[in-house]
Structures are given as structure tokens and as C-alpha cells.
Chains A and B, each alone.
Chain A
Amino acid sequence: MSPAVWASGLTRRFGAFVAVDDVSFEVRAGEIFGFLGPNGAGKTTTIRMLTGLLLPTGGRGAVAGFDLATQTEEIKRRIGYMSQTFSLYADLTVGENIEFFSRLYSLPRDRRSARREWVLEMAGLTEHAGRLTGTLPLGWKQRLALGCAVLHEPPVLFLDEPTSGVDPISRRGFWRLINTLAAAGTTVFVTTHSMDEAENCGRLALMNRGRLIALDTPAGLREGHTEPIFEVRVADAASVVETLRDAPGIVEAGMFGRTLHVTVARAEGAEELIAAALGRRGIAAAGMGRIVPALDDVFVARVRAAGGAPAD
């Protein structure tokens, strides 16, 4: 079976600036694929090419079997797109929004009522079809926006930070819907800064400075991270970050919740090294130990190893 989305050497130049630089990957049908990277890494430019809004200047790729360079209109009809600033009309009712998107996607007349019922059911809004969209809680609007984005049953769905700002209960419900869609064969492409959202993805692609710098499952990224990381518990952790960053043998130190995550060059003797650096400030750690890195740690380390985040 051919991949639902693929890119091979995909490149986009703007004058001398290479926004997307020789990027290759394959996403299989029904996969939930996460796309991460700091601002300016080339994520948005890649998405614009994959959604038929921008032509590549080099390389090749296809979405739902259609070519990124020559079949952008076919691609646009076969994808769904939902962003955080989704395009629902606040002064239309729930039912009217569904009707509007049915027409926008040129849904055949005989399919409209069945799809409308499906969206209302899926979004849990059957009782609220007559309610003004602007008065709905955010989590409900998000489910409605998802429903409208898949009204035309697109094989590939793009989500841009889909659950930022919603409460955890709504977020869990939203991801159950996404998993149901994926299980039924919809390919889901998610861009996000939230490591919580990233954990919901089957595989993650990490971009920096236009290049793809990592591609693996969340567990694979954590386990494949070879630089040793120690969690250090210390009162007023923030005040010692700089001290640790400047100490020899320490690669990186950052706050993680109330603890510190300290990346060291070598695991042997690391605890003594950290204790000594803290000791020079007259501080004793309440505890420390080696940990499996969080996705956040992997993100920071991979971007650093790839030259650091771009400035713009």
C-alpha cells in the first residue's frame, strides 16, 4: 500500500533562504504523525506544500496519491484542515456551520443529511444543533471544528495545535475522536509545540533550520537519547541553573517542573560532579538520579545538536 503522505528531498527556497531543505519521510494510512520544531524550523512551509498552498522548488512528494507539484487542486479536495484559530462562524448555529461547510466542500445533496447527523453525533452536539456556535464552550467548538474539517471524509487530516487552551477533560475526549478516525483509516498530521499532544502521536518528526533532524516513535526518541540526564531535586532550583550550566562536564541544565534536568557528558561520576558544582554555592541536593529523558529533553537536545533554534 502506498503511503498516504510522502516527501522525497522536498525543498522550498525563498530567494537565497532555504526554508525546507531536502526533507524526506513517509506517513502510512491511518497513522497519527506529529510534526515538531521550534518557530522558524520550516514546519509551516512544509505544511503549506503538503496542503497544496505552496509549490516546492525541489524534490517530490504526494498526498493521498496526488503530486505536490502538479495536482494541488486534487490535494485540496482530499484533505481536512483544522487550526487553533478555526474558522467556525460564531453567529451561525451549530447546524448552520455544518451546512455551510457541506456546501463549501460540495458534498452531494443526498450525502448531506447523513454527514450532518454523523458530525453532530461524533461531536456530541445532537441536542445542540440550534445553538449559536459563539456561545459554546471551547471544547465543544473544537469538536465541531473537527467535525466540519472531516465532513467530506478526507483521507488525510491536518491539525495545527488542535487542543491548546482546552481543559484536560475535553482534550482527552478530542484525542479519543482522533484515534477513532485514525483507526478507521484517516491519516492524521499534527503540528504542535505541546509535548502532551506529541505523546498522542504514533511517530514524531522533529525539524530544525529547514531539515528533518529526528524521526521516531515517542518511546524510541526517549530511549534512543544517549546523553545521560540526571534529575536533581534542590530547593530553589532556578537559582542554581546558571551555576550548573557553567560547570565543566555539564552539557545542559534546565528546570523541569520543580526539579532540574541536568545533561552530562558522561554518566560515570556525574552525581559527584553535580554535587560538587552545587557545593561550591553552598547548596546540597535533596536527591538526584539518572532518568529516562522526557520528550521535552529530547527536543531541546536534538535542536541544540543541530545548531540551535533559528532566530526567526
Chain B
Amino acid sequence: MADAGVTVRVGGLSKRFGALEAVRGLTFDVPAGSLFGLVGPDGSGKTTTLRMLAGVLPPTSGDAAVAGVSVARDPERVKRRIAYMSQRFGLYGDLTVMENLLFYADLYEVPASERGPRLERLFRFSNLGPFRDRQAGALSGGMKQKLGLSCALVHQPEVLLLDEPTFGVDPISRRDLWLIVHDMVAQGITTIVSTVYMDEAERFDRLVMLHRGRTIALGTPDELMADAPTMEDVFVRRVAEAEAAGATRGGAEPEGRP
């Protein structure tokens, strides 16, 4: 069981693909109702970590308790407690915005009485309301991303896992997406978000910085930025320290973005 006040507890979580150690000994706690960040460049292990936390990829060693459920022993039960938006979230291009949302509401068995208010709230932040009858395939990249996030949120998960929701999205849609995320956190949903953008790292209550599968920094933004003006400086400094210690030398990165 999870300790009181901690919704996600990660201990020694590791994943190996053949010779590649994609995630090595990751250990952190996510307090209940907080916004936690996985921050690092492509190939640093963010997606692999989120897939393990979502119960869709078994760890090679270590474990994580998500809402009290072990991802190593009981991945099927994890899936019912979370919402997970992968980088290629499955939207139906031929269905309208509204039909996609209702499809996911059916899938997650959201009671009819809760659907109206839930959709209203999602529409308010996503600015998708005026486009509810538009086919999803005809939306711009940023709008698709907002619809994907809205679909993942039609049910009330205990834990929300978002893989790079703002990647490649213009600054306006990016603001909308962050508002939706913060609104979910305000409702008490424990949320873990990955990002490649160092300037987004300051938004998190706590974060882990990853480099080639290893943790190079873990803490609150204030703690990490105590001796560096920007998060980018934190990253650069920590990588230099890790390399001086020989920790990441010789490690091969996996293929980049598909």
C-alpha cells in the first residue's frame, strides 16, 4: 500500500532493452495531488518510465506503486486507476470532437449524469467548444493535442500520466494545455508530465531530470535553482558533474523521436 500522502512511489525502477539500459534505478516519490515532472531530452528515458508507470511495459527490475498498486505485479489493476496520454494518442480522425469525447466516456464507463459537467469544464479550458462538430482529423496539431488530453480526462483518474503534451505545439495552444493540466491538479489528481523543454520545468512542484536513463537531479524548482539562474543551467551543470564522475560516459542513446 502507498504511504499516506504519497500517491506514486518509485523504487529502483529499471528497464533494459537488450544492451540498452533505457532507465536505470529510478527512485522518487510523488506526493498526493501534486504536479511532478520528468524532464530531459529525447532518449533520456521519459517515455519508458511513463509506460512502466502506466502498467503497459513491465520493468526489468525495481517497482513502482501507483495509487497503491504494484506496476510489476498487478499492471492490469494500475490501468484502471490512471489516465495515460501517450505521444501518439488514439484519436479517431473520422469522428467529430464531440464523438471522440463520448467514445472515451463510454470506454471509461463515465456515468451519464457526470458527462455534461465534465465536458463543459474540459471545453472551457481547451477552447474546443466552437469546434465540437468538427472532424478530429481536420484539427491543427495543437488542437488535436488538446482533444487527446481532454479524452484522457473524461474519466476521473487518481493519477494522470502525460507524455510530452506540449511537444511541437505553438505557444498559444501550449498555454491552454497547461491550464488544463493545472486544473486537474487543482481537483486533486496526482499528475506526472514529461517534457523536453527546460523552461517548462519550473512549473512542477517537484521534478526529476533525466539524462541517458539516469537521474541527474531531483527536487523542487527552488532547490534545483538555488545556485543556477535557469533550469537549462541546472541541466548543463548536472550533466557535466555526472560526466566528470564517469557515470554517463560511453552510454548509448536509443533512437530519437519516431
Q: Do A and B bind each other?
A: yes
The chain A residues found within 8 Å of chain B, CB to CB, are 37-40, 84-85, 90, 134-139, 141, 161, 164-170, 193-196, 236-239, 241, 254-255, 257-258, 296, 299-300, 303, 309-312
Chain A residues positioned under 8 Å from B175 (CB to CB): 254-255, 300
Pair A165/B172 contact, Cβ less than 8 Å: no
A312 touches which one: B41, B143, B255 (CB < 8 A)? B143
14 additional A-B pairs beyond A238-B185, A299-B172, beta carbons within 8 Å, are A38-B171, A39-B143, A84-B168, A84-B257, A136-B253, A164-B167, A165-B41, A165-B42, A196-B197, A236-B186, A241-B179, A257-B200, A300-B172, A311-B139
Minimal beta-carbon separation of A231 from chain B (angstroms) = 13
Minimal beta-carbon separation of B136 from chain A (angstroms) = 11
Task: Report the stretch among B57-65, B76-84, B111-119, B232-240 that lies at the interface.
Answer: B232-240
A134 touches which one: B40, B139, B168, B255 (CB < 8 A)? B255
**Segment 158-172 of B: residues with Cβ below 8 Å from A:** 167-172
A257 touches which one: B138, B141, B196, B199 (CB < 8 A)? B199
* Complex: A138 Cα to B236 Cα, angstroms: 16
Contact sample, A vs B, 14 pairs, CB 8 Å cutoff: A38-B171, A84-B168, A90-B255, A138-B256, A161-B168, A165-B256, A166-B42, A167-B44, A169-B236, A169-B239, A196-B197, A254-B179, A309-B140, A312-B139
Pair B170/A258 contact, Cβ less than 8 Å: no
CB nearest neighbor in A for B205: A258
Minimal beta-carbon separation of B137 from chain A (angstroms) = 10
Pair B186/A168 contact, Cβ less than 8 Å: no
Q: Using A167-B239, A238-B183, A254-B175 as known contacts, say yes or no to A135 and B169 having CB atoms under 8 A apart.
A: no
A165, A258, A296 pick with most chain B CB within 10 angstroms: A165
Pair B183/A164 contact, Cβ less than 8 Å: no
CB nearest neighbor in B for A166: B41
Pair B168/A193 contact, Cβ less than 8 Å: yes
CB nearest neighbor in B for A298: B171
* Complex: A69 Cα to B217 Cα, angstroms: 53
* Complex: A165 Cα to B203 Cα, angstroms: 19
Pair B178/A296 contact, Cβ less than 8 Å: no
* Complex: A195 Cα to B175 Cα, angstroms: 13
Pair A135/B252 contact, Cβ less than 8 Å: yes
* Complex: A312 Cα to B235 Cα, angstroms: 36
Q: Using A170-B41, A311-B134 as known contacts, say yes or no to A195 and B171 having CB atoms under 8 A apart.
A: yes
Binary CB contact string for chain B from 169 to 211 against chain A (1 if under 8 A, 0 otherwise): 1111101001100110110000000001111101100000001
Pair B169/A311 contact, Cβ less than 8 Å: no
Minimal beta-carbon separation of B229 from chain A (angstroms) = 13
Pair A38/B142 contact, Cβ less than 8 Å: yes
Q: Using A255-B203, A257-B202, A312-B139 as known contacts, say yes or no to A137 and B252 having CB atoms under 8 A apart.
A: yes
Q: Using A137-B252, A166-B41 as known contacts, say yes or no to A39 and B142 having CB atoms under 8 A apart.
A: yes
Chain A residues positioned under 8 Å from B239 (CB to CB): 167, 169
B43 near A: Cβ within 8 Å? yes
* Complex: A255 Cα to B171 Cα, angstroms: 11
Pair A37/B170 contact, Cβ less than 8 Å: yes
Minimal beta-carbon separation of A294 from chain B (angstroms) = 9
CB nearest neighbor in A for B182: A238
A309 touches which one: B42, B172, B199 (CB < 8 A)? B172
Pair A311/B183 contact, Cβ less than 8 Å: no
Chain B residues positioned under 8 Å from A312 (CB to CB): 134, 138-140, 143
Binary CB contact string for chain B from 34 to 77 against chain A (1 if under 8 A, 0 otherwise): 00000011111000000000000000000000000000000000
Pair B139/A164 contact, Cβ less than 8 Å: no
CB nearest neighbor in B for A308: B172
Minimal beta-carbon separation of A163 from chain B (angstroms) = 10
Chain A residues positioned under 8 Å from B198 (CB to CB): 168
A311 touches which one: B143, B168, B178, B197 (CB < 8 A)? B143
CB nearest neighbor in B for A238: B182
Pair A168/B43 contact, Cβ less than 8 Å: no
The 5 A-B residue pairs with the shortest CB-CB distance in the complex, in nearest-first order = A238-B182, A167-B41, A39-B140, A257-B202, A165-B42
B221 near A: Cβ within 8 Å? yes
Chain A residues positioned under 8 Å from B179 (CB to CB): 238, 241, 254-255
Q: Using A238-B186, A258-B203 as known contacts, say yes or no to A167 and B40 having CB atoms under 8 A apart.
A: yes
Chain B residues positioned under 8 Å from A38 (CB to CB): 140, 142, 170-173
Pair B199/A137 contact, Cβ less than 8 Å: no
Chain B residues positioned under 8 Å from A195 (CB to CB): 171, 199
Pair B252/A193 contact, Cβ less than 8 Å: no
Minimal beta-carbon separation of B48 from chain A (angstroms) = 15
Minimal beta-carbon separation of A248 from chain B (angstroms) = 20
Pair A239/B186 contact, Cβ less than 8 Å: yes
CB nearest neighbor in A for B128: A311
B131 near A: Cβ within 8 Å? yes
Minimal beta-carbon separation of B80 from chain A (angstroms) = 27
